[in-house]
Amino acid sequence: MTDLWYLLLLIALYAITHALVVGLGRLGGSP
Amino acid sequence: MSPTLLFVLLLLVFLALLLLATRPLGNYIAQVMEGRPNFALKLGGPLEAALYRLCGVDSRRDMPWREYAIALLAFNVLGALIVYALQRLQAYLPLNPQHFAGVSPDSSFNTAVSFVTNTNWQGYAGESTMGYLVQMAGLAVQNFLSAATGIAVAIALVRGFARHNASGIGNFWVDVTRSTLYLLLPLAVVLALALAGAGVIQNLDGYRDATTLEKLTYQNPRTDAAGNPLKDAQGNALTETATTQTQTLPMGPVASQEAIKELGTNGGGFFNANSAHPFENPTPLTNGLELLAMFLISFALTYTFGKLVGDVRQGWVVLASMIILFVPLALLGFEIEQHGNPAITAQGVDAAPSALQAGGNMEGKETRFGIAASTLWTAVCTGTSTGAVNSAHDSLMPLGGFVPLFLMQLGEVAPGGVGTGLYSILMFAILGVFIAGLMIGRTPEYLGKKIESLEMKLASIFILTTPFAVLIGTALGVVTAAGRAGIANPGPHGFSEILYAFTTAANNNGSAFAGLSANTPFYNVATGIAMYVGRFWPIVAALAIAGSLAAKKRVPVTEGTMPTHGPLFIALLIGSILLIGVLTYVPALALGPVVEHFMLGGAAH
């Protein structure tokens, strides 16, 4: 269970950063 | 010869050797990263092509910035998952002659993020935690790949300036492969052989027990079940007396890891004592080689930058700014440590240098290196994002501790980590031309590209993310019981320990102030998040700027264009870096090393 918690944390950090890529892409409309 | 003169000579020789290598190595990096035919590409071409075929990579594909960023993020999170799994499963895996148990989940998370982000902060002691498979297949591999990631981002950003009306900024897979295959691997092989020849150990043996001639009595810190130090009512650490006549000599493949540890500005030591350990860094010669390795690629990349944007003067300006920031802080660190501790000299202790002693503050320093080579190392390992140490930073004088803290807080740009130093200082360059543009009332330009609203928003995200992670993290460390539990030295020094931990984590440096018991769930999670945010959020912003710049057309140079290849721009760039660094961190620094400095002065009287 503890492993699952840390793996989820890692995936969550990735997902937030991925969302940042998408968000910044929309911000500028750059290719 | 006075110690100061000796230090200045050491510094000059060090910089001169690096400057000799900057142009040829920078030229070589430009060639291999842009795929211009040379002997290395000819030699490694078949292997490179085979790797692409194996992984299904279309090496001719030019990626838009979002695709580049997502490839980078996915590659790195996959690396973190592998390092996590290797640590958790090491008890069942080969090459573990010490039969170490699996690493705890929180420490595995922290270490996985730490090595993937090029931070290499270590909450664990390598020789008592990690088997050889984890060291080699997990940590050393990430030493290469995290450095390659930094170089890839720097080159992608430079392409943003160099290209015009382009939709792509390069191919992430090609950039990572080429920087690993043609730059990091060959340099690491040569350095590893040199280090092994000079006395750094390299083997896969089990540890050896040696019986010492005398019985050793020492004070062992007492900890609770969670690993936190036990303290008395006054908050002082509790210890217990222990004796032993056996010394265990750790072994391992050290030279191969040591080489990339310095070249890739990683810094994670094979042993807990890092480069103060005689098996990692036995002599002044190995110390010199490791010092040079830390700066080598970051210096060369500035020339690569100039070469790729078609004006090598731009690269020299960036390098000059890095050196001008670095030298005074290195000198300050040396002078403070050589001056010694006033509270000790007030008691009649002779701290003057002589033929028989180094003088000054030798606490926490190795006698084989002395004050000059220790303080130069401290400045080099924090001016880059290396974080390897050859002395105990916790034992530096208060203002001696200010030097590495401030070098990191400037954003790791003097000269910074491999790739990270270059792309970080280019963000400050964008900020600098924007400020200059405001002053003269013109749309700012840099290297023929208009710096507009979008670039400034992205540069602001880049520059503010790291201070955000440092200051929020430090505040959490101070206000929570779990954060305060790790402090071994109450008062301003304890505050410095927490500030240092989050500064080193968010700036992806990795050096430790020690004194802080950081291998606890709170610090493993908090610094892990700081490392991830401090690494990848700025990278995303930098790649977004690269994409935006690459798509722009080049504007012609006119009489109104501010020149960015001369002393005025150097002053502007340094001013921007100092302005951000000082305004952001002075209050925190005042509560830590500055207060401690004045308290020490008061105690001496």
Q: What whole-number percentage of chain B has pLDDT above 90?
A: 88
- pLDDT band at B405, cuts 50/70/90? very high
Please tell me the distance from the alpha carbon of residue B264 to that of residue B433, in angstroms, as a whole number.
30
Shortest CA gap A2–chain B (Å): 7
**pTM for this entry:** 0.94
Q: Kindly identify which residue of chain A lies nearest to residue B80, measuring between CA atoms.
A: A10
Count CB pairs under 8 A between chains A and B. Answer: 76
Chain A interface includes B532 (CB < 8 A): yes
Chain A CB within 8 Å of residue B172 CB: no
B417 C-beta neighbours (distance < 10 Å), count: 34
A7, A25, A27: residue with CB nearest B457? A27
Q: What is the mean pLDDT of residues B101-111?
A: 96
Instruction: Please tell me which of the candidates B66, B525, B532 has its beta carbon nearest to residue A21.
Output: B66
- Residue A29: predicted pLDDT: 52
Contact B160, B63 (CB under 8 A): no
Which residues of chain B from 36 to 75 reach within 8 Å of chain A, CB to CB?
64-66, 69-70, 73-74
CB environment B221-251: b (16+ within 10 A), e (fewer):
eeeeeebbbeeeeeeebeeeeeeeeeeeebb
- Mean pLDDT for B505-515 is 91
Whole-number average pLDDT of chain B: 95
The average pLDDT across B110-116 equals 97
* ipTM score of complex: 0.94
What pLDDT shows up at residue B488? 83
Q: Measured between CB atoms, does A3 come within 8 Å of chain B?
A: yes
Q: Helices B3-33 and B284-308 meet at what angle, rounded to 10?
A: 50
CB spacing of A21 vs B81 below 8 angstroms? no
The rounded radius of gyration (Å) of the Cα atoms in chain A is 13
Where are the alpha helices (H) located in A1-31, listed in sequence order? 2-28
CA distance A1 to chain B (A): 10
Does residue B15 belong to the interface with chain A, where contact is any CB pair within 8 Å? no
Give yes or no for A25 touching B (CB within 8 A): yes
Q: Cβ of A15 under 8 Å from any chain B Cβ?
A: no
Of A2, A13, A25, the CB nearest to B66: A25
d(CA B142, CA B383): 21
How close, in Å, is residue B602 to chain A by CA atoms? 46
Q: Are B540 and A21 inside 8 Å of each other by CB?
A: yes
Mutate to test the interface with B, among A2, A5, A7, A21 (most CBs of B within 10 A): A21
CB-based contact (8 Å) between A10 and chain B? Answer: yes
pLDDT for residue A26: 87
* Alpha-carbon span B159 to B449, nearest angstrom: 12
pLDDT of the residue at B356: 87
**N-terminal to C-terminal alpha carbon distance within chain A:** 41
Mean pLDDT of B310-336: 98
Measured CA angle at B577 (ends B571, B579), to 5 deg: 95
pLDDT band at B423 (very low <50, low <70, confident <90, very high): very high
Give bridge partners of residue B253 from the DSSP assignment: B202
What distance separates the 2 farthest-apart alpha carbons in chain A? 42
Contacts of A20 in chain B (CB under 8 A): 537, 540
pLDDT range class, residue B110, cuts 50, 70, 90: very high
**Which residue, among B63, B165, B454, B522, would best test binding to A if mutated, counting the most A CBs under 10 Å from its CB?**
B454
Residue B427: its pLDDT value, please? 98
* Nearest C-alpha in B relative to A18: B70
Supply the angle between the helices B370-383 and B398-409 in degrees, to the nearest 10: 30
Nearest to B265, CA basis, from B392, B158, B380: B380
Q: Best residue in B68, B77, B462 to probe A by mutation, most A CBs within 10 Å?
A: B77
pLDDT value of position A31? 44
Distance of alpha carbon B306 from alpha carbon B321, whole angstroms = 14
Among candidate residues B147, B182, B174, B176, the one with its CA nearest the CA of residue B44: B182
For residue A28, the chain B residues in CB contact (below 8 A) are 454, 458, 544, 547-548
CA–CA separation, B196 vs B60, rounded Å? Answer: 39
Q: Express as a percent the part of chain B with pLDDT over 70.
A: 100
Secondary structure (3-state) at B11: helix
Q: Are residues B64 and B547 in contact, defined by beta-carbon separation less than 8 angstroms?
A: yes
Whose tokens are 């995290």? That residue is B146
Q: Which of B29-43, B258-272, B281-295, B349-363 has the lowest mean pLDDT?
A: B349-363
CB contact under 8 A, B548 and A28: yes
A-facing residues of B in 238-257 (CB < 8 A) are none
The CB-side HSE value for B308 (13 A sphere, CA atoms) comes to 26
B547 in contact with chain A, both atoms CB, cutoff 8 A: yes
Between CA B160 and CA B154 the distance in angstroms is: 10
Which tokens go with B88? Answer: 């958790």
Asked if A19 reaches chain B (Cβ–Cβ under 8 Å), the answer is no
pLDDT digit string, tens, across residues B523-558? 999 999 999 999 999 999 999 999 999 999 999 988
Task: Inform me whether the C-beta atom of residue B88 falls under 8 Å from chain A C-beta atoms.
Answer: yes
Residue B282: asked if its preceding bond is cis (omega within 30°), the reply is no
Tell me the pairing of strands B449-450 and B445-446.
antiparallel
Pick from A3, A5, A20: CB nearest B88: A3
Does B79 reach chain A within 8 Å, measured CB to CB? no
HSE-CB for B218 with a 13 A CA cutoff: 9
Output Rg (C-alpha) for chain B, integer angstroms: 24
Res B309 pLDDT > 80: yes
* Chain A residues within an 8 Å CB radius of B77: 10-11, 13-14
Angle at B153 between CA B150 and CA B158, to 5 degrees: 125
* Residue of A5, A9, A31 with shortest CB distance to B547: A31
Count CB atoms within 10 A of the CB of residue B358: 20
- Mutation target among A7, A24, A26, A27 for the B interface, most CBs of B within 10 A: A24
Distance, CA of B63 to CA of B172 (rounded, Å) = 8
HSE-CB at B311 with a 13 A cutoff on CA atoms is 13
Q: What are phi and psi of B356, to 5 degrees?
A: -100, -15
- Average pLDDT, integer, range B297-319: 98
Residue B348 has pLDDT above 60, yes or no: yes
Q: How far apart are CA B504 and CA B414, in angstroms?
A: 15
CA distance A27 to chain B (A): 8
Contact B175, B145 (CB under 8 A): no
CA distance B163 to B63: 13
